[in-house]
Amino acid sequence: MPNGRSFETGNRTMILFAASGFSRSVKKHLRTRNAMNLSDLGEFGFIDRISGILNTADVRVVKGIGDDCAVVRLSDDRVQVITTDALVENVHFLTDRIGAEQLGHKCLAVNLSDIASMGAEPTFAVVTVASPANGDVDYLAGVFRGIRALADRFGVTIVGGDMTSSQSDLMISLTALGEARVDEIRYRSDAHPGDALLVAGVIGESGAGLATLLDDECAGRLRRETCDTLRSRHLTPEPLVREGCWLARYAGPAGEKVGAMLDVSDGIASDVRHICRESSTRCNTPVGVRINEAELPQTAALAEYLECVGGDSIRYLLQSGEDYALLFSAPASTTDDLMERFHAEFATPIARIGTFTDDERVVLYRRDGSESSLSGGHDHFRHA
Amino acid sequence: MPNGRSFETGNRTMILFAASGFSRSVKKHLRTRNAMNLSDLGEFGFIDRISGILNTADVRVVKGIGDDCAVVRLSDDRVQVITTDALVENVHFLTDRIGAEQLGHKCLAVNLSDIASMGAEPTFAVVTVASPANGDVDYLAGVFRGIRALADRFGVTIVGGDMTSSQSDLMISLTALGEARVDEIRYRSDAHPGDALLVAGVIGESGAGLATLLDDECAGRLRRETCDTLRSRHLTPEPLVREGCWLARYAGPAGEKVGAMLDVSDGIASDVRHICRESSTRCNTPVGVRINEAELPQTAALAEYLECVGGDSIRYLLQSGEDYALLFSAPASTTDDLMERFHAEFATPIARIGTFTDDERVVLYRRDGSESSLSGGHDHFRHA
Of the candidates B72, B137, B160, the beta carbon closest to that of A159 is on B72
A138: contact with B, CB 8 A cutoff:
no
- Judge contact between B270 and B319, C-beta under 8 A: yes
B359 and B231 in one domain?
A: yes
Residue B118 lies in a domain: yes
Instruction: State the pLDDT at residue A44.
Output: 58
Q: Are strands B157-166 and B121-132 parallel, antiparallel or unpaired?
A: parallel
**Interface contact B91-A167, CB threshold 8 A:** yes
Residues of chain B in contact with residue A124, where contact means CB-CB under 8 angstroms, are 60-61, 70, 72, 82
In the stretch 6-45 of chain A, residues with CB closer than 8 A to chain B read: 7-10, 12-14, 17-18, 23, 32, 34-38, 40-41
**Interface contact B10-A162, CB threshold 8 A:** yes
In the stretch 365-384 of chain B, residues with CB closer than 8 A to chain A read: none
- Judge contact between A334 and A253, C-beta under 8 A: yes
**Interface contact B10-A90, CB threshold 8 A:** no
Q: Output the furthest CA–CA distance in chain A (Å, rounded).
A: 60
In the stretch 111-130 of chain B, residues with CB closer than 8 A to chain A read: 123-124, 126-130
* Count of H-run helices and E-run strands, chain B: 14, 13
Number of residues that make up chain A: 384
Instruction: Give the orientation angle of helix A241-249 with respect to helix A335-345, to 10 degrees.
Output: 140
Tell me the one-letter amino acid at A301: A
Instruction: State the pLDDT at residue B103.
Output: 98
**Interface contact A14-B46, CB threshold 8 A:** no
Residue A94 burial by Cβ neighbours in a 10 Å radius (0-12, 13-18, 19+) = middle
How many Å from the N-terminal Cα to the C-terminal Cα in chain B?
A: 33
User: Minimal Cα–Cα distance from A376 to chain B, Å?
Assistant: 20
B148 and B225 in one domain?
A: no
**Interface contact B8-A162, CB threshold 8 A:** yes
- Judge contact between B25 and B211, C-beta under 8 A: yes
Tell me the one-letter amino acid at A165: S
A208 and A175 in one domain?
A: no
Minimal-distance CA residue of chain A relative to B53: A145
Per DSSP, helices labelled H in A154-215 are 205-214
Q: Does A253 have pLDDT greater than 50?
A: yes
A109 and A42 in one domain?
A: yes
A159: contact with B, CB 8 A cutoff:
yes
B147: contact with A, CB 8 A cutoff:
yes
Residue B9 lies in a domain: no
**Interface contact A54-B132, CB threshold 8 A:** no
Among B140, B157, B184, which residue terminates a domain?
B184
**Interface contact B84-A128, CB threshold 8 A:** yes
Q: Does A151 have pLDDT greater than 70?
A: yes
Question: Domain range spanning residue B332?
Answer: 196-374
B128 and B170 in one domain?
A: yes
Distance between CA atoms of B117 and B187, rounded to whole angstroms? Answer: 8
A301 and A170 in one domain?
A: no
Distance between CA atoms of A342 and A179, rounded to whole angstroms? Answer: 22
Residue B5 lies in a domain: no
A176 and A201 in one domain?
A: no
In the stretch 165-184 of chain B, residues with CB closer than 8 A to chain A read: 165-169, 171, 173, 175, 177
Please tell me which of A10-14, A137-141, A363-367, B47-51 the model is most confident about, judged by mean pLDDT: A363-367
Instruction: State the pLDDT at residue A86.
Output: 94
How many Å from the N-terminal Cα to the C-terminal Cα in chain A?
A: 33
Instruction: State the pLDDT at residue B34.
Output: 39
Q: Does A25 have pLDDT greater than 60?
A: no
Residues of chain A in contact with residue B13, where contact means CB-CB under 8 angstroms, are 163
- Judge contact between B324 and B240, C-beta under 8 A: yes
Q: Are strands B171-181 and A157-166 parallel, antiparallel or unpaired?
A: unpaired
Instruction: State the pLDDT at residue A26.
Output: 43
User: Minimal Cα–Cα distance from B371 to chain A, Å?
Assistant: 33
Per DSSP, helices labelled H in chain A are 14-19, 21-30, 37-41, 43-54, 100-118, 137-153, 205-214, 216-220, 224-235, 241-249, 268-283, 300-309, 313-314, 335-345
Tell me the one-letter amino acid at A126: V
Q: What is the DSSP letter of B82?
A: E
Residue A150 lies in a domain: yes
Of the candidates A41, A144, A169, the beta carbon closest to that of B166 is on A169
Instruction: State the pLDDT at residue B51.
Output: 85
A75 and A117 in one domain?
A: yes
* Close Cβ partners of B378 (under 8 Å, ≥ 6 residues apart): B15, B39, B42, B43, B44
A349 and A209 in one domain?
A: yes
For the domain that residue B321 is a member of, what is the CATH number?
3.90.650.10
Instruction: Summarize the confidence of residues A168-197 as an average pLDDT.
Output: 96
Tell me the one-letter amino acid at B52: G
Among A157, A184, A211, which residue terminates a domain?
A184
Sign of the C-alpha dihedral computed for residues A131, A133, A134 and A138 taken in this order = positive
Minimal-distance CA residue of chain A relative to B64: A159
Beta bridge partners of B61: B72
From residue B124, give the alpha-carbon distance in Å to each of A122, B38, B81, B235, B304. 18, 33, 11, 22, 39
- Number of CB atoms found within 10 A of residue A43's CB: 20
Mean of pLDDT over chain B: 87
Distance between CA atoms of B366 and B370, rounded to whole angstroms? Answer: 5
For the domain that residue B101 is a member of, what is the CATH number?
3.30.1330.10
**Interface contact A128-B10, CB threshold 8 A:** yes
A133: contact with B, CB 8 A cutoff:
yes
Residue A189 lies in a domain: no
Instruction: State the pLDDT at residue B5.
Output: 31
Model confidence band, residue A16 (pLDDT cutoffs 50, 70, 90): very low
Model confidence band, residue A45 (pLDDT cutoffs 50, 70, 90): low
Query: Edge-to-edge strand order for the sheet containing B61-63?
Result: B61-63, B70-73, B78-88, B171-181, B121-132, B157-166
Of the candidates A70, A132, A159, the beta carbon closest to that of B159 is on A70
ipTM of the predicted structure? Answer: 0.87
**Interface contact B167-A165, CB threshold 8 A:** no
* Close Cβ partners of A106 (under 8 Å, ≥ 6 residues apart): A87, A93, A98, A146, A235, A236, A237
Instruction: State the pLDDT at residue B279.
Output: 96
Of the candidates A14, A32, A84, the beta carbon closest to that of B160 is on A84
B95-146 pLDDT tens trace:
999 999 999 999 999 999 999 999 999 999 999 999 887 888 899 999 999 9
Q: Does A106 have pLDDT greater than 60?
A: yes
List, as one string, the DSSP characters of A20-56: SHHHHHHHHHHT-----HHHHH-HHHHHHHHHHHH--
Distance between CA atoms of A97 and A94, rounded to whole angstroms? Answer: 5
Pick the residue of A111, A173, A177, A266 with the most B CBs within 10 A to test the interface with B by mutation: A173
Residues of chain B in contact with residue A167, where contact means CB-CB under 8 angstroms, are 32, 88-91, 168-169
Instruction: Summarize the confidence of residues A128-141 as an average pLDDT.
Output: 88
B351 and B218 in one domain?
A: yes
**Interface contact B173-A157, CB threshold 8 A:** no
Among A152, A184, A216, which residue terminates a domain?
A184
Pick the residue of B40, B92, B175 with the most A CBs within 10 A to test the interface with A by mutation: B175
- Number of CB atoms found within 10 A of residue B215's CB: 14
Beta bridge partners of A351: A199
Q: Which helix (H) or strand (E) holds A172?
A: strand A171-181
Distance between CA atoms of A262 and B267, rounded to whole angstroms? Answer: 45
Residue B41 lies in a domain: yes
User: Minimal Cα–Cα distance from A272 to chain B, Å?
Assistant: 19
Mean of pLDDT over chain A: 87
Lowest-confidence region among A342-356, A365-379, B173-187, B254-268 = A365-379
Distance between CA atoms of B274 and A69, rounded to whole angstroms? Answer: 35
Instruction: Summarize the confidence of residues A131-147 as an average pLDDT.
Output: 90
Lowest-confidence region among A11-20, A153-162, A237-246, B63-72 = A11-20
B171 and B87 in one domain?
A: yes
Pick the residue of B65, B75, B114, B166 with the most A CBs within 10 A to test the interface with A by mutation: B166
B354 and B274 in one domain?
A: yes
Q: How many domains does chain A have?
A: 2
From residue B330, give the alpha-carbon distance in Å to each of A146, B67, B86, B344. 41, 18, 31, 18
Q: Does A316 have pLDDT greater than 90?
A: yes
A187-197 pLDDT tens trace:
999 999 999 99
Residues of chain B with pLDDT under 50: 1-36, 376-384
Pick the residue of A50, A56, A74, A117 with the most B CBs within 10 A to test the interface with B by mutation: A50
Of the candidates A12, A86, A90, the beta carbon closest to that of B167 is on A90
Residues of chain A in contact with residue B263, where contact means CB-CB under 8 angstroms, are none
Residue B382 lies in a domain: no
Residue B206 lies in a domain: yes
Residues of chain B in contact with residue A160, where contact means CB-CB under 8 angstroms, are 7-10, 64-65, 69-70, 82-84
Helix (H, G, I), strand (E, B) or coil at A343: helix
In the stretch 300-319 of chain A, residues with CB closer than 8 A to chain B read: none
Instruction: Summarize the confidence of residues A307-323 as an average pLDDT.
Output: 93
